[in-house]
Amino acid sequence: MRGPMKAFSVLYFLCCTFSISVVSTAVDTIGTTQSIKGGATIVSTGGIFELGFFSPGNSKSRYVGIWYGKISTRTVVWVANRDIPINDTSGVLRLSEEGILVLIDDTNSTIWSSNPSRSVNNPVAQLLDTGNLVVRDGNDNDPENFLWQSFDYPCDTFLAGMKYGFNLATGINRVLTSWNSSDDPSSGDFTNELDPNGVPQFYLRQGSVVMYRTGPWNGLRFTGMPNLKPNPIYTYEFVYSPKEDYYSYQLINNSVVSMMVLTPDGNLQRFIWIDSSQSWNVYLTAQVDGCDRYALCGAYGSCNINNSPACGCLEGFIPKFPQDWNAADWSHGCVRKVPLKCRDGEGFLKYSGIKLPDTRESWYNMTMDLNECKKLCLKNCSCTAYSSWDVRGGGRGCILWFVELIDIREYPENGQDIYIRMDASELAAYRRSKRVRTIVISVVCLGMALLGLCLMLFVLKKKPRREGNIVDDPEQKSTDGSKSENFDLPLFDFATIACATENFSNKNGLGQGGFGQVYKGILKEGQEIAVKRLSSESRQGLDEFKNEVSSIAKLQHRNLVKLLGCCIQEDERMLIYEYMCNKSLDSFIFDPKQSRLLDWPKRFHIINGIARGLLYLHQDSRLRIIHRDLKASNVLLDNEMNPKISDFGMAKIFGGDETEARTRRVLGPMFLCSGYMSPEYTIDGLFSVKSDVFSFGVLVLEIVSGKRNRGFCHQDHKLNLLGHAWRLYKEDRPIFELIDKSVKDSCNPAQVSRSVHVGLLCVQQCPDKRPSMSTVVLMLSSETALPMPQEPGFLIDRDPSDMDSSPSRRERSSSNGLTISLPEPR
């Protein structure tokens, strides 16, 4: 037994000392008949890592954690109960018969538990030499078959061999979260995570505010990390596949001790342990200097740390507000000297050696070459820039931007090329300027030696901040049919769509809505499409059409249905979408036969995908969008059962300062009867992001149960699905009473329980009590403790046939006394 260690502080954001006795058992596993308590620990086979109870710094609180076992400075790399400490000497960590790691206190209350993907007959928990704590079948060492692993739930430390990013199959999102301080391992202010929107990149946030981004991966490195290069310490890679998006690294020499840490003050740094000095040394820092501050120079501004001031406008751009710019307030960025008009002669200016702009709202293709990329960008009037997706081998793949270019900076080495769209007059002016510079330089070269220095200074003074090469395309044509309405979308002619749908044949019909008919089509290139054709008799449909175009035209997210273009020729109004072969979610979860195709992992993946899509709409897109019509029939499924939110006809775009709005045009009776509408929307016509959260909560409970909220029937009561779930929760009854019988064999009890709990939090009557979608995504992907939900709105079901179309009709529809009034439509 080792005696108490004297507290000391080295690298406050990394090192933790212990005030309790520790006993090393010299074993690396825990069975179902064993436990860890007091000062007992387990040690990985090579002695590299150790797991047990500890108290950080001067704290008296106790945690279960993993730390390095062979270095003198105790450095904790993972904490199980980081947000729920044990405040006395009690605490036992054990493995249940079901393969669940459970931490309990002296009252036998569960402080923390793992959530294995399935149960086995002979579970074993093992601490590996990588620092990964895994739960596996005792006879199965295949990493692909682990029931649970700590690498999927990192704290502030990124270790070698860890997959840092998304597992799209399981919905796991591996996020680094800083400690609060050296004495407090609870979740701090800073998070670093992979954002899959557009071209994936990592974002460092303080709360919800983006502080830094790595830029997208270009085959060699992240474009915002030029100092990430081949080295003798570690190798690295970024994997981008249909099932996983992640970054990982491997140590070249296993005797080297190295880790990546998100420190309490928000620095993402790599450390190397130096034996000679017995200390941690900083090897690499993600944020190099002030130019790495996110969007420091605003839209179309570029940061160069060697300039004074560091911010400047790109060639062809000027400060949006010169007075603020000259006062060192660059946040408003720059604007074009000559606005784009989508006419002949527009082309591109090449910029080299830069960090690519924010790619959250970009589009990409991994097979196109750079020339194809240029042509595609020129054909779309909304396209502002393009670049290579992968710079290896001369460049391949394509990235297109359709929004303002944000967070650009210049590098002296390891930057990337980007081609920015310019007006024809600006390109001509640049050519003239370039010719003038060439003449001046020639004169300087031929001039007398005495005048050389003066001429050189003159040229340098006149030289623009950045030189560029012109890449223009004189074949760009104006778009026919857009005289009256500018939708900033590729336009299809009527003949093309008629041919694709076999002249809108009934056999190609996919469905009918208030706006008109939806058809399946196949373009000449073989691409399958879905065509939403506006009915000429529907005035409401025309409004929805315009709203849908303005809402979704510039949105790019894997969980939103992709709008490919539109047709506005003559009297036709059509939207062309990517085709979803599995149609809508409701056709699966509410159909007894089809529901068998959605096991629990697929359903949990769908829940997480919908949550990420809503988060993008509410927070991460350039526009804040309230969907207002989220329901199972408006969630489409692709061939891999990935969910895509669709139908933006009722969506509302909010300004940056808006949080809620009132409307007298509440959604129609069909939406009301479906049970997705929030109380405040139904009663007062008020809607906000929390209205979508309510609809999401209803949808989660429907996905779990396979039952519709409205029309739900139970022999013991007349409650709807929300009321039934709430009753089960209040009475602490088994969750298996709620779940769809077709998923009982495949379900993960912990995930199902967490999903239902989150669903109930989302459908609380009071909007302020409902979580934001960013919180929902975090709750679904982590093991953090969840708050207690309050009573939902609209607990009592009613027969839709009882609804009166009269605006003055009032119906009581909730056990908590809510009165529903239908505002008069307009």
Which positions make up the binding site for ATP? 532
Give the DSSP per-residue string, 761-782. Answer: HHTBSSGGGSPPHHHHHHHHHS
Angle at CA of residue 192, ends 188 and 196, nearest 5°? 140
**Does the annotation count 629 as an active-site position?**
yes
Measure CA of the first residue to CA of the last residue in the chain; give whole Å: 78
**Residues forming the annotated binding site?**
532
Q: Where are the alpha helices (DSSP H) in 408-465?
A: 424-446, 449-462
CB-count burial class (<10 Å; 0-12, 13-18, 19+) for 56: buried
CA distance 781 to 825: 40
* Alpha helix positions (H), 647-688: 669-674, 679-684
Determine phi and psi for 159, rounding to 5 degrees. -100, 160
Query: Three-state secondary structure along 512-555?
Result: EECCEEEEEEECCCCCEEEEEEECCCCHHHHHHHHHHHHHHCCC
Sequence-distant (6+) residues with CB within 8 A of 565 are 489, 490, 491, 492, 576
Residues, the chain: 826
Residue 576: alpha-carbon gap to chain centroid? 25
The DSSP call for residue 391 is -
Please report which helix (H) or strand (E) contains residue 644, including its range.
Answer: strand 643-645
Query: Are 39 and 6 spatial neighbours (Cβ–Cβ below 8 Å)?
Result: no
CA dihedral of residues 634, 637, 638, 643 (deg, nearest 10): 90
For residues 631-659, one letter each, b for 16 or more C-beta atoms within 10 angstroms of the residue's C-beta and e for the rest, the string is: bbbbbbbeeebbbbbbbbbbbbebeeeee
Q: What's 99's DSSP letter?
A: S
Give the strand order in the sheet containing 76-79. 23-24, 40-43, 49-54, 63-68, 76-79
Residue with tokens 């400690």: 179
**How many Å apart are CA 585 and CA 702, to the nearest integer?**
10
Calculate the CA 821 to chain-centre distance: 37
Q: Determine the Cα–Cα distance for residues 555 and 770; give it in Å rounded to an integer.
A: 25
Q: Which of 629, 692, 740, 797 is catalytic?
A: 629
Torsion of CA 609, 611, 617, 622, to 10 degrees: -70
Distance, in Å, from the CA atom of 543 to the CA atom of 550, rounded to the nearest integer, reads 11
CB 759 within 8 A of CB 701: yes
Identify the three-state secondary structure at position 669.
Answer: helix
Question: For the chain, percent helix, then strand, then coil, each to nearest 5?
Answer: 25, 30, 45
Amino acid code (one letter) for 298: G
Enumerate the active-site residues.
629
